[in-house]
Amino acid sequence: MSEVTLRVNGETHALDVDPATPLLYVLRNDLGLRGPRFGCGLGQCGTCTVLMDGRAIRSCMRPVSRAEGEITTLEGLSTDGELDPVQQAWIDEQVPQCGYCQNGQILTAKALLDRNPTPSDEEIRQGMNGALCRCMTYYRVQSAVRRASDAMTNGAGGANGTGEAGGEVDR
């Protein structure tokens, strides 16, 4: 055990854990976060995805000692109870089925759209490809990414807008 400092969702945490511990278990078990979930422990499915300085990373593979920078989990996407446009698009499109993987879908989409605010259909498919879903909600996930893209680029509120700008987009 040794002291590790983590920046998560805007707060700094000093933790006494084995530095080799995968970030996932520290986020879930020490910080009590529910967004990142265990899926494979192999970096294959994306269920454990978190953002590190805006990049989507697999927290199941990342030793906590190498989790430098600002970590954002699903819980940290919304600010003051206001949903990120990506989250709003997920509700508007009624994307989830069981929802277990949707943390990875949403954060992968968030990182994709921050990198490329107007992805083509092909870029969405490629950008989202590493996020697996066994309920197979891919069809709606892709619609929601398009909707979020519209909301973020056309909406008055910008990256943290109300999400309502995309409310009328056809599926």
Closer residue to another protein in complex, CB, 114/123: 123
Distance of alpha carbon 79 from its chain centroid, rounded? 14
Spatial CA neighbour of 82 closest among 6, 151, 7, 153: 151
Which positions from 19 to 38 touch another protein by CB under 8 A, shown as an x/- string?
--xx--x--xx--xxxx-xx
Secondary structure of the chain: what % helix, strand, coil (to 5)? 40, 15, 45
Is 49 a binding residue for another protein by CB under 8 A? The answer is no
Q: How far apart are CA 16 and CA 14, in angstroms?
A: 7
H or E element at residue 90: helix 85-92
Among 148, 141, 142, CA closest to 89? 148
Q: How far is the CB of 3 from another protein (least distance, A)?
A: 15
| Radius of gyration (C-alpha) of the chain in whole angstroms | 16
Total count of residues recorded for the chain: 171
Q: Is residue 5 close enough to count as binding another protein by CB under 8 A? A: no
Question: Is residue 41 close enough to count as binding another protein by CB under 8 A?
Answer: yes
In the complex, the smallest distance separating the C-beta of residue 10 from another protein, rounded to whole angstroms, is 15
Instruction: State the minimum distance, in angstroms, from the CB of residue 92 to another protein.
Output: 9
User: According to the binding rule CB under 8 A, does residue 115 interact with another protein?
Assistant: no
Q: Quick check: 66 binds another protein (CB under 8 A)? A: no
Work out how close the CB of 84 gets to another protein at its nearest, in angstroms, rounded to a whole number. Answer: 9
Interface contacts to another protein, rule CB under 8 A = 1, 18, 21-22, 25, 28-29, 32-35, 37-42, 44-45, 47, 73-75, 77-78, 83, 87, 90-91, 94-103, 106, 121, 124-126, 128-142
